[in-house]
Amino acid sequence: MTYLENYLDLIRSRGNLKLADSIETTADDVTRRHIETFDYVSHEVGLLFGNIQSGKTAQMFGIICSAADHGFHVFILLTADNNTLELQTLERVRADLKDFLICGENDARLYEKNQLVKPTVIVLKKHVDVLKHWADVLLSTGFLAGNPLFVLDDEADAASLNTRVNSGRQSGTNKYIEKIRNTAFSSIYLQVTGTPQAILLQTAYSNFRPSWVQYFEPGKEYLGGKFFFPLSGMPSCIRTIDHDKEPLRAAVVRHLTVSAQILLSGGRVSCFICHPGASQKSHEEHAAGIQRALHWCRTNPGEFKDAVKNEWNRMEPLKSVKRPLDAILAKATELISNSRLIVMNGKHLVDSSQYSSGCVFVVGGNSLGRGVTFPSLQTIYYTRTAKKPQADTMWQHSRIFGYDRDPGLVQVFITEKLYYLFREINSVNDALINQVKNGIDGIHFTYYEGVNPTRKNVIDKKNVLVIPGGHNYFPDDPSNDTKADIDALLSDLHDDVPSYTASLAVMRRILLHIKSDDAFDPAGYVDYLNSILAEDPNAQGVLIVRRNRHITQGTGALLSPNDYKLAESNAGKVVLVMYEVDGAGWKQNPIWVPDIRIPDNSVYYGMPHNG
């Protein structure tokens, strides 16, 4: 049997038949399109994109097995620089890939001794010292002089990208990942993440921009963005805490009640996570708050009974039979003293066995995110805020999504502002997935002003098109291709009419006839309009047309004060102003010059077509 067949049999033996089918589909697709066609001389970069906690690790293992069946013998699996996650990953690799030699970061001698007799998976955390050491090991053994290397970078957007791109230097982690790839005469570097914004905004100048992407759908029981953050309405699994005097206490009571239901129904564990922010001080304060809530439950039996009854009435378990109130109350009362409270951050080293059974409360910040999996996570208390929130970080750190939640028991405690912010991020993610399915050329997305898609230090400011709303943009050195076509498109629009309501499809057609040799990127604005039209083919904007304007090229201004105010007064819409200009310095005379303004509350990110 092949390595892939053995792995699929293992997954099926655990009762995960649909997961095995999904793994087989993904592995077959990647193999047919990229492994079987690999030329063994290139250093190829790809992206495996799936929803957060939707089974990416299992998909990676399937790809490893299929690649081993096709001649790859050395695999490096990179994890975040997090000891808990590294150990969790190493344990899982050893449990699932039994046909492989598995090496941790301290197993260089084991790797050397094996002499590639068995295909080898090396699990490394993305720490500079670890990567530097293994770059030297791989080079000194010489095994890769005649063998291709397969690197799988889990959460590749988190630490692997060059954080010094805007200063013309290379960050340490980025440098040594690239050095490891280059120790082999050829390689496939597969980036893996559920939040690919930073990766998709890498430019052609980066060795970390993928040339292809493989997206895989989550399984039917996956609870993701569409479940928690639908386009309209607020589902019953969401509880806003803005007007609750004791929101943390309410969350604790809820979790005790839900845990009682799960444990009485034969479940092994029920987890609660509290994510108040990044600071260790906030973790200690909220851990103390949970202890106070448990003390209140213990010392106020009458009020606790009423609170449990309210939660019992709320919950509608779908994966188990609802237990009687008396049994739930008795078990919840028992769990007040028998639950486990864990603080998980850089100060406290936590092993996964500490949250693998019973009723568990976990408090932390950054350590909760990026791949750490909490079994049967039913209650989430998320209040982390930031002045300039990052969409990918919020999505990862929330830990809301996954398979082993009961949709009738899971509950998210969150502020109303954060809820609507998550809903906006989910909407952009859905649009991003739809784009990725059709390839990554011309990738683009738009966020509300104040929300960044990712860290600014990994985006090449000179080569990524960023268009903040509420500003007017026009080319300094345009040309028309051809002016007659623009004349025809605008022939029925009169100068004496202040403005017209016009389809964005019409604006797109106009801009297709504009060329520019400066920073203004007409094709980028066309991509922006396409992104809106993809969601709403009938989307409308404001079109302003003016003829016979005498303006010298390069004066630094285009619109008249009245037209500028008119554009500004339509702050929530796309505004396109077309000036027919007759003046000195222009390539054509007369020439149509566009001025475009996108809605004030948005920022557009895309890959430029100029330069």
pLDDT digits (tens, 9 = 90+) for 381-412: 999 887 778 888 888 877 889 898 999 999 99
Residues 387 and 468 both lie in one domain:
no
**Nearest Cα to 604, choosing from 542, 532, 537, 538?**
532
**Nearest Cα to 475, choosing from 373, 395, 594, 309?**
594
Of 549 and 347, which is predicted with more confidence?
A: 549
* Confidence label for 443 from pLDDT (cuts 50, 70 and 90): confident
Residues 23 and 75 both lie in one domain:
yes
Residue 428 belongs to some domain of the structure: no
For residue range 223-272, what is the model confidence (pLDDT) as tens digits? 999 999 998 899 999 999 999 999 999 999 999 999 999 999 999 999 99
Of 545 and 436, which is predicted with more confidence?
A: 545
Three-state DSSP state, 459: coil
Residues 181 and 258 both lie in one domain:
no
Report, as an integer, the average pLDDT of 20-45.
96
Residue 410 belongs to some domain of the structure: yes
- Residue 28 in this model has a pLDDT that exceeds 90: yes
For residue range 36-74, what is the model confidence (pLDDT) as tens digits? 999 999 999 999 999 988 889 999 999 999 999 999 999
Three-state DSSP state, 408: coil
pLDDT of residue 219: 86
pLDDT of residue 442: 74
Report, as an integer, the average pLDDT of 128-138.
97
**Nearest Cα to 253, choosing from 175, 185, 319, 339?**
339
Domain that holds residue 475: 464-606
Rounded CA gap, 276 and 415, in Å? Answer: 12
Query: What's the burial of 330, exposed, middle or buried (CB within 10 Å: 0-12/13-18/19+)?
Result: middle
399: left (phi over 0), alpha (psi -120 to 50) or beta: left
Rounded CA gap, 593 and 547, in Å? Answer: 10
Report, as an integer, the average pLDDT of 417-429.
90
Which of 46-50, 164-168, 524-528 is the least confident region? Answer: 524-528
Residue 535 belongs to some domain of the structure: yes
Residues 233 and 186 both lie in one domain:
no
Residues 149 and 255 both lie in one domain:
no
Give the largest CA-CA distance in the chain. 87
- Residue 150 in this model has a pLDDT that exceeds 60: yes
Residue 184: CATH number of its domain = 3.40.50.300
pLDDT of residue 556: 76
Residue 439 belongs to some domain of the structure: no
Residue type, 160: S
Report, as an integer, the average pLDDT of 78-92.
86
Final residue before a domain boundary, out of 164, 180, 215:
215
Residue 316 belongs to some domain of the structure: yes
Residue 97 belongs to some domain of the structure: yes
Contact 261, 352 (CB under 8 A): no
For residue range 358-383, what is the model confidence (pLDDT) as tens digits? 999 999 988 776 667 889 999 999 99
The residues facing 593 across adjacent strands are 579
- Residue 518 in this model has a pLDDT that exceeds 80: no
Which tokens is 255 given?
A: 């979790």
Residue 176 belongs to some domain of the structure: yes
Contact 347, 280 (CB under 8 A): yes
- Residue 610 in this model has a pLDDT that exceeds 60: no
**Nearest Cα to 263, choosing from 391, 385, 400, 359?**
359
Close Cβ partners of 45 (under 8 Å, ≥ 6 residues apart) = 188, 189, 191, 207, 208, 209, 210, 211
Contact 318, 408 (CB under 8 A): yes
Report, as an integer, the average pLDDT of 576-596.
94
> First vs last Cα of the chain: how many Å apart?
51
Final residue before a domain boundary, out of 215, 242, 264:
215
Residues 326 and 263 both lie in one domain:
yes
Rounded CA gap, 252 and 290, in Å? Answer: 7
pLDDT of residue 611: 42
- Residue 158 in this model has a pLDDT that exceeds 80: yes
Residues 153 and 230 both lie in one domain:
no
Report, as an integer, the average pLDDT of 71-91.
89
Rounded CA gap, 112 and 118, in Å? Answer: 12
Residue 21 belongs to some domain of the structure: yes
- Determine the distance from the C-alpha atom of residue 336 to the mean position of all C-alpha atoms in its chain, rounded to a whole number: 36
Average pLDDT, the chain: 92
Residues 76 and 142 both lie in one domain:
yes
Number of domains in the chain: 3
Residues 159 and 239 both lie in one domain:
no
Residues 45 and 182 both lie in one domain:
yes
pLDDT of residue 532: 87
- Residue 117 in this model has a pLDDT that exceeds 80: yes
pTM for this predicted structure? 0.84
Final residue before a domain boundary, out of 194, 215, 236:
215
For residue range 320-356, what is the model confidence (pLDDT) as tens digits? 999 999 999 999 999 999 999 999 987 777 878 899 9
Report, as an integer, the average pLDDT of 277-288.
93
Residues 286 and 177 both lie in one domain:
no
- Residue 593 in this model has a pLDDT that exceeds 70: yes
In percent, how much of the chain has pLDDT > 90? 72
Residues 63 and 203 both lie in one domain:
yes
